[in-house]
Chain A
């Protein structure tokens, strides 16, 4: 496979094609007759996924550096280039984003019946933005992709969302823009600072990371600007309020994209930019304490709110806050295991929460309500949906043998040495996750079957199964055999840890074993 891919020069063009193809799709969808829109999108999405799949084999897991790089001059006089690349941190985000794409199209096949053309065009445009954020290796480019994502998402929520959509769409954009506007100032300031120090004005990620010592005097301000942008996206506890609104009001595909990819942009941002640029400040004891406290507060808070949520979609949205709290804990854990665990949770959360949002969308299409109390005993009339929901919930809770467990376990293992108290609390709260999700499962699927509408529900259609089965299969596979994924993320995680270790506040180091199990 590798030889085949190499023979077609795969590593040279793949990322460019992945970025370009959805934009071509946008044009096609807009130009072609409206009834073709779904099919065209499906074709483009599938092609995109098949192309991206090659990354799995072509990716060299031995190196922690950037692969598949391209660098073309964009505004060379200002040090701005079209620099893209990918490493173990971003590989799976790309795979996840492209793999979700056909599922999203299937998932919205009948649910979206108005302004179909615009909907699919926006869905495709969103994809370019997402992939762009994860592959951009030039901060100017990164900022452009980061902001451009807002537009399709804004229109997706605002046009195809449910009742309160205008409020949710505005809140989403205002929060995200508020977070990132200072990031732009920080990026330019960094370029100027490094430029004055080295004589080379460049927005290149590598150039800035190498000369990060020049940024040290300004690190508190610059880091705050970056952290604010990413913290809103994650979302970290007090900045999370846009998330339930956006999730609940967005159409199913929008919620899924939000959960699977957009939230990860925040944690990815910390891993890729905020911490490697300013490790000394970001990992200093007080700052780390703030972030770990917020992460744990988020885990607890979201779990508590979820327990009393009457709205199923909101419940799942809050569970995202909880999961992402784990990721933050893993990132600040600063060991190879915890970082790998963070990446694993990012993937696992994408799979399980994505599946849960799809399932909520399917239930909603049948009953037009998301209130838990309206449902009851659905498993009896829709056993397939019930089974899928139960598996996805278990994966989300972190049951061993399913996707969620691996990452959470690694994070707890890797972070315990440095933050024993926080980790212990987080471990205990995992039980809460079981409580709220199982409550929902019981209420919707297993209580007595009441109400004529519930009795009249039909089971999953083949189209819906086509959406769910790949996700469920991936959850099981990831839970049982995470080795291939861990192997591919390890080098990047190790590289990240090596960059930040000198700056870590001393803590009790756990014995160094790698997640993959081999000796250090």
Chain B
């Protein structure tokens, strides 16, 4: 273990190394874009350069993880522990996949503006800050960096009104949510005099119940609820997911959600450990609503992207259940579920992007009919993804569901795991018809799937993700081991208190 002192600038620079690498690299990307920005090849060049940068940031994260760099004492501004590194890797993985999946897609949809990739990198930097920060102000900063970039990305398809609508809707509601979050931060600061989560938590634990802090907590929950699209703060999600270019939808569904949930885990467990009795019921309500509304409304969807949007709302509900547990098992469930969900969703959105017709309004379920006959591997991959989202044994998604159920059952809580089970039962009702459409129904017209185009990078990503989903579903020892050690290494208030008598 290498400890570094976060109160000194050099220490802080080292602690933020992956974000700094990516920031520097995104400036390089901007230069490259300024130099070449006319043809599809130029756009691809920017994409590849961006992907390389994300790879470097990932290497930096891995290096920090392997050399086990930890903070001495209270983690000022950023956490340095396995939980952060693994979440940061996930965010970077999402960014890498998004860049690679966009390479052909953007050209195909005639979206020749390579700034796209720079925006993906900016959003990723924001996400990195969110998953690593131990300070409310830095969380807000990361959130804004991420959100502003994603607002633009959502409206990137200039040829479609729905994309512009998505961007505007996302921007208005997102700004509103940011306001809540900022207000929550201000109130928390007002109550405790601290913005550092660990210190604020310590102050809160040592003082009588304060209305200020309680209202602040509520505001924070609302802000996060908007960002992760939990019911009743989900209204924007279906339209935005549907309108945004498909790779961006995948990016939002996985990256933004990861950043939001990891930050939420930190805020609640380190910042408000003494108010657990207050936020657990609130989370339970959010979880129940998200699971019920997300799953039930998804049943009525005909558009693939809307279906996945509602399914992602229900997954936010499952994740809320895991956050509710507020135990090491729960933290581990959040992390592994996010990995499982992101792997699966990225592959699924990759397939949807491949099927999408040029200039089509959206991808409907019936557009997938008969896909198996022309694209057997694609259809099978998509089926595996949907089964994993469903939580079917033999897939990584099942491992995630199992961890969530165990984590809550260990608390003696029965309603939430039963609800998770019922949720996946209902979700069978909308995943199964998609599988059925792909594998069992005939094509609408003989030419319907001629346009299907999976780029080489897309093939590698989808095949790799599907292989990983199955392999990790059958042999989940590596992620489980890693997850457990990661959670054990978590810096939290108790650890810090023990270190500083």
Seen from chain A, the residues whose Cβ lies within 8 Å of a Cβ on chain B are 74-75, 77-78, 143-144, 147-148, 151, 155, 158-159, 165-166, 169-170, 173-174, 177-178, 181-182, 184-185, 188-189, 191-192, 221
Contacts and interface: CB of A to CB of B under 8 A. Distances in A.
A147 B429 CA distance: 16
Interface residues of B, number: 30
A221 B417 CA distance: 14
B440 A78 contact: no
Contacts of B480: 75, 77-78
A182 B415 CA distance: 12
14 contacts: A74-B477, A143-B393, A144-B394, A151-B387, A155-B439, A173-B428, A173-B432, A174-B428, A181-B422, A182-B418, A184-B421, A188-B406, A189-B417, A221-B414
Contacts of B422: 181
A182 B421 contact: yes
Interface string B463-498: 000000000000011001100100000000000000
Contacts of A143: 393
B275 interface: no
A188 B394 contact: no
B363 to A, nearest CB: 21
Nearest to A145: B393
Nearest to A178: B425
Contacts of A151: 387, 392
Contacts of A181: 421-422, 424-425
A173 B424 CA distance: 13
B285 to A, nearest CB: 20
A166 B436 contact: yes
Given A158-B439, A184-B402, 6 more contacts: A151-B392, A155-B439, A169-B440, A170-B436, A181-B425, A188-B417
Nearest to A193: B409
- How would you classify the secondary structure of chain B's contact residues: helix, strand, loop or mixed? helix
Contact of B440 (A159, A177, A188): A159
Contacts of B393: 143-144, 147-148
B47 to A, nearest CB: 35
Given A158-B440, A170-B436, A181-B422, A75 B394 contact: no
A170 B392 CA distance: 16
A170 B432 contact: yes
A166 B369 CA distance: 13
Contacts of A189: 409, 414, 417
Nearest to B401: A184
Nearest to A143: B393
A192 B410 contact: yes
Interface in B356-372: none
Contacts of B45: none
A143 B394 CA distance: 10
Given A147-B393, A192-B409, A185 B425 contact: no
B213 interface: no
| Residue of B418, B425, B440, B477 with highest tally of chain A CB at under 10 A | B440
Contacts of A182: 418, 421
B405 interface: yes
Interface pairs A-B: 7 shortest CB-CB: A144-B393, A181-B421, A158-B440, A147-B393, A181-B425, A192-B409, A185-B421
B409 A188 contact: yes
A75 B477 contact: yes
Nearest to B390: A177
A189 B476 CA distance: 21
Given A185-B421, A189-B409, A192-B409, A174 B440 contact: no
A209 to B, nearest CB: 20
A447 to B, nearest CB: 38
Contacts of A169: 436, 440
Contacts of A147: 392-394
B394 A185 contact: no
B108 to A, nearest CB: 31
A408 to B, nearest CB: 36
Nearest to B441: A166
A169 B406 CA distance: 31
| Residue of B393, B405, B432, B439 with highest tally of chain A CB at under 10 A | B393
Interface in B366-424: 387, 392-394, 402, 405-406, 409-410, 414, 417-418, 420-422, 424
